[in-house]
Chain A
Amino acid sequence: MDEIIRVKNLYKIFGDRPLKAIEALKKGESKNDILKRYKLVIGVQDVSFSIRRGETFVLMGLSGSGKSTLQRLINRLHQPTRGEILINGTDIVKLGQKELREFRRKTFCGMVFQNFAILPHRTVLENVEFGLELQGVEREVRENKARKMIRQVGLEGNENSYPSQLSGGMQQRVGLARSLAVDADILLMDEAFSALDPLIRRQMQDELIELQAKMKKTILFVTHDLDEAFRLGDRIAIMKDGQIVQIGTAEEIIAKPADDYVRAFVEDMDRTAVLTAGTIMQPVRETAFPADGPRTILRKIRRNGLSGILVADANRQLKGYIIADHLADYIRKHSEDKDLTLRKDLISQPTVVTSETPLNEVLKSYKDVQYGPVAVVDGRNRLQGVIVRGAVIAALSEGARTESNTNDADT
């Protein structure tokens, strides 16, 4: 995957004569000392990272961590103090006012704001047209595009309403449609769903995921909500004091927090929504083949001290599950039959999940099933591993334990 944004050693210091703060930082002075001594506020310090085309990249941190500042540096709503921001290979820090304007128009889908920032005197349609109108797109063309986007975000019928007539969730759909109507590469979203109540927020997150699957934008999403970050982000950067503490996928961050700060964050989180079946599954010790005789299968089960066994063919295609007790009964009843074959109804359908299934759904499936393991398969129904109850319980206990368990599963 090619990268669309690369940020190198970026600094943003607020106040007069900001370079003094960079010197001081290099000497190891703290943020607070610099604020007291030079009256300079450090927004972002020495940040480097890159974003891949088409990914949803989340900047996560508490207020004051510099996440919104960093986002505003990337479209230069804030002027960087030092450093490079390469977008599609252009260093935007060096652009003049006019070039910058052109660059924003063709590269960014504007921005989606926490408090929507839609214009109160314009109708929904006129608001969605805004970005295109600024670019001088003809009325008819922009109106068509705007109507299409309004349909995409589920606002049709409200084209002529004014923002004050809409709920918060609907207003943010207008904000989203306004951005998407521009149809540029990068979508910036600043705490876009934070002002909405939890149910609507959830719904908007789902819809964004859905839209993103169709649109394949590069999204830079800022949030203070870890659940949201983990739900939306392909990768997440956790920020603190103007620096990025850790970058990784949700699972990487959960499984291996970079420091105590991240660990403290991650502890409060609903682990079952982030950990997937893949992280806690264990290798299958032994499977039965469909052609195996009943006695062979029973021996395999007993040898491993199991209560049942998964059946898979030579290509590891999952065929079913056999319960040891049922099999033993069957053999006892037909003990004289030397060429006993496996009766079809002995093979039951096990609970099956994919390695991407979140743990909370694995737990749900546990409620319906009284026996046997949960089988983990890939997209083509090939057996990848099993989840046993003990591993699930271990994963739900605190962070350090999970880490070691995941490692066990890998080996």
Chain B
Amino acid sequence: MFPFRIPVRDWISKGVDYLVSEYSALFDAFSSLVYFLVDHLKEGMLALPPLALMAIIVLITWKMAGWRVALFALFGLLLTENIGLWDALVETLSLVITAELLVMVVGLPLGIMAARRDRFDAFIRPVLDFMQTMPAFVYLIPAVMFFGLGLVPGVVATFVFALPPLIRLTNLGIRQVPAELIEAADAFGATNSQKLLKVQIPVAMPTIMAGVNQSIMLGLSMVVIAAMIGAGGLGEDVLRGIQRLQVGQGFEAGLVVVILAIILDRITAGFGNKSNQHS
């Protein structure tokens, strides 16, 4: 139909190549920072006896989500240990936590900025659409080019995938703060930062926590995919199950992902409810 082909793929390849060759020092520095975080987190958690870490997780679950979920967490984690997937679970957990920390560090300020400036909001909206709808596998390629194989590209791909919901919901939460509350803060002579810290963020907290919850859930689903670039953890066991057509092994690992997902979901939802209970 066309006598020519628009070289989209060349542009992107060249762009990525350019970034890789010109900014490799920057990527290396970032890479070692992320590796440092994930690795220390993982080693720290593995250094504890499994039962001790389980107790901590169960306690947190009990605090945030009640004894029923805590009981579920206890049995789920014991099962994980019993079928030999404990180390994989810890690895996945540290990956998710690191990625989520990065998401919060980047997502909260961006969400706040989007809420305060309509032009920034208009700019970031399509970017977020792009990030969310682009098939997750596609992120793996540039992640590998920038950061090699292993934990770090896994964290980065997870970060990119899990970032949008937090930005969106932070933006939404702050925009939904009733106008009267903003007027009240102004009438009492609040500075912009007082308004943000004492009114907007606390009032938006339930919505922001919903964003954290959503991004953790997305992150967890990405972590499995990230195993394809050597991120390790539970995804690796799922992947091995696929490659060797071992249904049982694949489902075992999948089941542990579900257990972890439920625990993390209930804990973060619990946070949201706690900040919600007075409104």
Q: Which residues of B contact A134 (CB under 8 A)?
A: 185, 188-191, 194, 198
Closest residue to B199 on the A side, CB-wise? A119
Known: A113-B183, A133-B198. A121 touches B278 (CB 8 A): yes
B183, B202, B275: the one within 8 Å of A119 (CB): B202
Q: Residues 56-83 of chain A: 1 if any B CB is under 8 Å from the residue's CB, otherwise 0?
A: 0000000000000000100101000000
Q: Which residue of B lies closest to A130 (CB)?
A: B188
Given contacts A111-B188, A134-B191, A182-B188, 10 further A-B contacts (CB under 8 A): A77-B183, A111-B187, A117-B178, A119-B198, A119-B203, A121-B205, A134-B189, A134-B190, A134-B194, A188-B187
**Separation of A101 and B185 alpha carbons in the complex (Å):** 11
- Is B118 engaged at the interface, CB distance under 8 Å to the other chain? no
B228-247 contacts to A (CB < 8 Å)? none
Inter-chain CA distance A113–B279, complex, in Å, is: 18
Chain A residues with Cβ under 8 A from B181's Cβ?
A: 117, 119
Q: Which one, B178, B191, B278, contacts A101 given CB within 8 A?
A: B191
B43: CB under 8 A from chain A? Answer: no
The 16 sampled A-B contact pairs (Cβ below 8 Å) are A72-B183, A77-B186, A101-B189, A104-B187, A108-B187, A113-B183, A115-B178, A117-B180, A118-B184, A120-B278, A121-B205, A121-B275, A121-B279, A133-B198, A134-B194, A135-B189
Contact with B along A182-223 (1 / 0, CB 8 A): 100000100000000000000000000000000000000000
A106 to chain B, nearest CB (A): 8
Whether A162 and B187, one on each chain, are in contact in the complex, defined by CB atoms closer than 8 angstroms, is no
Q: Does A102 contact B (CB under 8 A)?
A: yes
Q: A residues within 8 Å of B by Cβ?
A: 72, 75, 77, 101-102, 104-105, 108, 110-111, 113-115, 117-122, 130-131, 133-135, 162-164, 182, 188
C-alpha spacing A45/B203, complex, angstroms = 36
Selected from B184, B199, B202, the residue in CB contact (under 8 A) with A111 is B184
Question: With A115-B180, A117-B181, A119-B203 in contact, is A77–B187 under 8 Å at CB?
Answer: yes
Q: Mark B187-217, 1 if CB is under 8 A from A, else 0.
A: 1111100100011001101000000000000
Chain A residue numbers with a CB within 8 Å of B202 are 119, 121-122
Q: Which chain A residues lie closer than 8 Å to B199 at the CB level?
A: 119
Which residues from chain B contact A188 at a C-beta distance below 8 Å?
187
Residues of A within 8 A of B278 (CB): 120-121, 162-164
Contact B189 A105 (CB under 8 A): yes
B195 to A: closest C-beta gap in Å:
9
Assembly CA distance A118 to B187 (angstroms): 13
Return the 7 tightest CB-CB contacts between A and B, nearest first.
A105-B189, A120-B279, A111-B187, A117-B180, A110-B188, A162-B278, A117-B184
Contacts of A120 in B (CB 8 A): 203, 278-279
Q: Look across to chain B and name the residue whose beta carbon is closest to the beta carbon of A116.
A: B180
Q: Which of A113, A121, A162, A164 contacts B180 (CB 8 A)?
A: A113
Q: Which residues of A contact B275 (CB under 8 A)?
A: 121
Return chain A residues, CB-CB under 8 Å to B203. 119-121
Q: How far is the CB of A85 from chain B (nearest CB, A)?
A: 15
Q: How far is the CA of A115 from the CA of B183 in the complex (A)?
A: 12
Q: Which residues of B contact A131 (CB under 8 A)?
A: 188-189
Cα A120 to Cα B205 in complex, Å, equals 11
A191 to chain B, nearest CB (A): 11
Let me know if B189 and A164 touch, CB within 8 A.
Answer: no
C-alpha spacing A77/B184, complex, angstroms:
10
| Complex interface bits, B60-89 against A, C-beta within 8 A gives 1, otherwise 0 | 000000000000000000000000000000
Complex Cα–Cα for A77 and B188 (A):
11
State the Cβ distance, A313 to closest chain B Cβ, in Å.
56
B191 and chain A: residue at smallest CB distance: A101
A202 to B107, CA, bound (A): 49
Q: Which residues of B contact A114 (CB under 8 A)?
A: 180
* Whole-angstrom CA separation of A163 from B277 in the bound complex: 11
Q: Which of A117, A162, A188 has the most CB of B within 10 A?
A: A117
Tell whether, in the assembled complex, residue A104 and residue B189 are in contact, meaning their CB atoms are under 8 Å apart.
yes
Measured CA separation A312–B180 after assembly (Å) = 59
CA distance A188 to B279 in the complex (A): 26
B180: which A residues are within 8 A, CB to CB? 113-115, 117
Q: How far is the CA of A332 from the CA of B180 in the complex (A)?
A: 78
| B-chain residues with CB within 8 Å of residue A111 when the two chains form the complex | 183-184, 187-188
Q: Which among A118, A133, A134, A164 has the highest number of chain B CB atoms within 10 Å?
A: A134
A105 to B194, CA, bound (A): 14
* B188, chain A: closest CB distance, angstroms: 4
| CB proximity of B61 to chain A, nearest CB, Å | 24
On chain A, the residues within 8 Å of B185 by CB distance are: 134
In the bound assembly, the distance between CA atoms of A101 and B205 in angstroms comes to 26
CB-defined contacts of A121 to chain B, threshold 8 Å:
202-203, 205, 275, 278-279
